[in-house]
Structure 1
Amino acid sequence: MKSVIQHNVFRNLSLFLLFWAMATMVWSQDSLTHTNMASYFEEARKFRNQDKIDLALKKLDQAASEAEKNENVKALIDTYHELAILYLKLDKESDTQFYWDRASVLLKDVAYPYGDAIHKYVEAILLYRSDQNFQALFMLNEAKQLNNDRNFFNNILLAEAHVYLSLEKYESAIKNFNSLVVNTDVREPNYLSTRAYMGLAKLYFKTENFDESVKNAESALKLANTYGFAKESKEANQLLSSLYERLGLYDKALVNTKNLRIINDSIFNVEKLKTEVRTADIIRDNQKTDIIRQQETKIEELTESQNRSEITAILTSAFLTIISLLAVSLYRNNQIKLKTNDLLQTKNKELQTARDGAVQAMEAKTNFLSTVSHELRTPLYAVTGLTHLLLEENPAEHQKEHLKALKFSGDYLLNFINDILHINKIDANKVEPLNMEFNLKKVINEVIDSLNQSAKANNTKIILEYDKSIPNRLFSDPLKLSQIFMNLIGNSIKFTKNGEVTVIAKLKNKEEDTARLYFEIKDNGIGISKEKQQSIFEGFEQGSIQINREYGGTGLGLTIVKSLLKLFNSQIELKSTLGEGSSFFFEIEVKSIDGVAEEQDIAFEITKQDYTFKGLHILIVEDNKINQVITKKMLSKKDITCDIASNGEDAVVMAKENTYDAILMDIHMPGISGEEATIQIRKFDQQTPIIALTAISLDDSLESFYAAGCNDVVTKPFKPEIFYQKIGENIFDKKIKNAAS
């Protein structure tokens, strides 16, 4: 009898201590992913946007149960992330942290880029809510690098806009909000538009542009009421009530105030709030209880199978002693952590101040390069454009030589500017790797074909040694690989005369769907001395002043290669002997699948096609008078007539009152920008091709041009053949596609 009582005491004490230990550690539990559970997440997202939080919570609870039953770790991570975002909407940040922590644990044991991206996104929102804005922007940018899903990208844009608004970077915030007003999201386009209108309304209210604030708030309210976005409807009514009161429109303010009172005093909303809070607490507590219950079940199973002897009692006593010591140790560690956290917070504030200063310095550098690039490209457009026009007008033979020299100088200066900007764009994390299917051999052959003329000029032969075991269907970024090969092969040709340049591509190993590839570009040219090999990858380095004078160039090609390879988590290596030649080599990992690659690779050169332009009528939107004359003259060469708008406001009016075959839209203009003008035109005209014709800068994002509604982008200065080709493609090819559909 004594033995049984002793056993029960030990058992109950064991359960109590284990329960307490699990309660202290439950904060660090984790999450899953999303395979065949899309319907749960879609319905939960729909309910969340309509502020039906209790229904959204129930859907996600079902998703969690399904994921656990199927042992689907990735789906469980996705469920925890969706729950974290949902609790953010309820302003329960501690519960958000609970699910974020559970996801953290699971992410440590599984390779899941999408889950990592959402994880960083949730962390960025938490940082933003704690006024750590620069860290939030950094984390959003990290998340953006990990996934290119359209809906995820749009939510990143929305989050960035709110951070910019908090930092009073109004131009950046307006740019993001405007690109979301007319978004093409496949999952929640109307909700994103509503949030974007609401963001613009708050921004203009903050900057005391009350008329614009009213216009955007009314648009947000209309969408919110149409699609049942209850929370956004309440926000819009609150803001409009304040706005109309400031503007002296008291009747309108009263209408919104009454709407707000109905929403706030509604019994349905009071009961709804109670239901949501109750459901949220039940689901969270059930999650925690399940963890404890699982542990208790294991303990009971072990206890029932034990031999009820004195030895078992002694072992149990020893076990309880160890657990007690561990519990005490955990408690003491927690107390130490609390004290340490105070010190860490102080240090973190100091580090944050220093980091904010560094970020501001980087932004100043970026803005300087952006401004300089735009200011240089604009006059360069005049130089190259006028040179092209003069060469087209049958100049005298003695003039041709001077004009060709002028054209060469303009092209050289443009390439120099492009190289500097490209390096800084990579350093500023403004270049993102793509992930698309391509044929590697085709990419390398296109680069070699484009460089054959230079090789012939040096009497140098290019040899390709391609491993036939390399899979045909690879997934990575063929454009950036083309840039790497272009710079490395071009560099070898440049310093090799009467010799050979060998391009080697080998499959080093392949495990499941991951292939590791080895590349080497070697030549028997002039070689590089040992003392110069350490600095050859730094900007503007070419080995010596004599080499620079003899061979020319900026010395930026290898720097670009080094920067681009960082995007592939790789690095360039070099072996060289002076007077005997050089060998550049690197390795990268790519995804691969069996089969023959589809012929959908992006061609290295534009495929030229003849178009008949006569009779076309085009709108030129350009604020620079010289550029207006040059562009108009280039169009008239092809029998194209045109109208000219000197700013964005005129462009919108002229596009509404006239019919054009295409619009050439400058982006940087006084007044409203080309992006804003495009957004306004797309509200009444979805068909007319709009080509962004701009001196693109470091801050410009091609993604934002397309999001605004542009069909294509041509950067100034440009090659005339590319200019005409783009016009033809967007007018004639688009008509053929529309007729076929």
Structure 2
Amino acid sequence: MIYLLKKYKTIAPLWLLFLISSSVFSQQPKDTLALIQKYHAEGRAFVQNQVFDEAIISLSKANKLAFASKNTEEQLQVEFSIAQLHYYLRNYHKAEKEAKKIILELKKRKKEKELAEAYTLLGLINIQLNKFPQAEEALKQADNWFTKTNDEKNRANVLLGYGILELKKHNYKVAINYLDAAIPIFEVNDLFYHEAYARLSKSEALLNSNSNDVPNGLQQSKQSLQKALTIIDANAFVKLKIDSYKIESYIALKENNYTLAEENMAIYEQKNDSLYQVFLSAISKGIDSEGDAGYYSEIIDKQQTDLDKQRRSINFGKMTTGLSIALIVILSLLTLSLYKNNNLRAKANDLLQDKNNELQLAKEKAEKASLAKAQFLSTITHELRTPLYAVTGLTHLLLEENPKPDQKEHLNSLKFSGEYLLSLINNILDLNKLEANKVEIEKTSFDLKKRLNDVLIALKKTADDKKNNLHLEYDETIPNKLAGDPLKLSQILINLIGNSLKFTQNGDVFIRIKKMKEINNRVLLHFEIEDNGVGISKKKQKSIFESFSQASLQINRKFGGTGLGLAIVKNLLELMGSKIQLESQLGKGSKFWFDINFAVSEEYSETKDTRSANEIDLTALENKKVLVVEDNKINQMITKKILEKNKMVCDVADNGMDAIKLVKENEYDIILMDIHMPGISGIEATQDIRKFNKGLPIIALTAVTIDENLDDFYRAGFNEIIPKPFKTEEFFEKIYKTLESRKMPIEG
């Protein structure tokens, strides 16, 4: 460029001289910045590809150029990469020195996010240097910032650091909790190296943990190691692969396989020594590259001298001419920009129209999906209710046979669980109805403490399986007799307590119920469920109560579940005039709570369920002849035994055709008709019977979900509908009332 200035000094027009000189002024800093970024990017790429000697040389070049050009921002970024590289190369003292230098500079500049990242790195370095108090303090500084800014991705690195620190301090159970909290975040964000490192560390912690704290620690350790190896082999993480041989050796020792343990340890030591030599070579090359500083300084000084000379040689007139030309260029560019902007606007309008079309298609697809869902739920209803009828029916029969006191307790728990399962199935299958607030809240008298004990008994096995302790803190000043919907309250508590048990291992779950106030026969109660499990991230706390939602896909794979429990809790509480609250922290546990109003009941009515049955004359049903139309053999047996226990005479038909034949040949007082059967359905069979016998009472005894289509059943010829599973008292009540009223079906 200087050669061109000398050659054309006498003949070049003023504007050409200005543009040439301006380009010299502007180009140099841009070229230097581009060169810094180029070397920096090359260094990071070499690290990723594990070419460490080239990585340290490229990063050193970038650092020297950034220092010489006084570009502090770029220099800090490069120096941070250098500190990370030295940490990776196990050159921990050098890494610590670089990290501390960066932290001092970032504090001056008040770069809080970058400072938190530097503290994370310093914490990890101090762990390897066995400076545990310094490591904990650095990680705490980082944790405070990432928690305050809700930066889960970076906070996962802090959780990893805490996990490794506790592992080094031999606090294995605490280490596992921190690592379990970090792993799903790494997995979601495709941070494969971090995830593999965390799983390796977890494998080591599980292997060394006390069997009382972590059952099946050896098996869990092997599973964690296998998941880590899958990631390591897929991404060729050499350092982690070498570390895995050491853990495999320890596992083999635990299994008393000394030959395999010795082989793996030999591989580890050999490969670790080779890797250490590679690290030493890279560090050595990095030291050699520092000798190039004089060369770069000379170049920069020479460029600066040339620029100074050129600046003095350009006069004010040339600059004025150049500025005029620049103004013309700017106006031209502005005109071009406006033209392009109009084109972009037109394209944006076209794109918007396309998006609207796509949204319309998406809406149609969503409507089809909703219809398919409704059809699926209708089908699955029958498949779920049919076996559940067998469970509840057999439980009733066993309770009627004078069981022993301890057996009766188990059967009552089974009955309670069956009722809860039926309620849960109803809520799952009618989820849209629940979210639309179409579910009705019942009001019956109940004993809250008894309900809580039933819930805890039902969940005891789950707690035992996870080595958890259940603690009930119950306010004895709460009235014994409350009025409300006990089944839905039980469902809420089972979902919340079950959720805490699912995400807690070898821990504690506290259930606290306290009376807040009692005024005018109404009492406000505070319910609280707290655990010390893995916790829920800030980000996921906003969506955890949505239908089919869990903290992540990984959580679903690890802990199971449909993701419906908390959504059901939220909707039920809203129907009951309350609201669910949540407080949680990753690695430390969760607390759910809600407040709810109940009326104080004048009379406790656990016997309310049987009141209707007591009001009817069951002896009037004796010797009544009943035809049970049912294709399921187990259900046939259950229904027949329930009827015969009440001294009713019972015939059974396996399908609709046999039922029609039996009705033509025999006299029956009533028919109990299933809906879904092979051959002709219960509806078709009923319609055929009505052609020759309009007065015979027919009750639909079915597992089909009944929504708002009762009139359709009556038009088909039914007098009454009893959904399966049923309460026995309601079953006989409907039979009695149907026989008494001889209600005729609606003519279609």
What interval of TM-score do these two structures reach, taking the shorter chain for normalisation?
A: 0.3 to 0.5
What's the TM-score once normalised by structure 2's chain length?
Answer: 0.36
Please say which structure displays the higher CA radius of gyration: 2
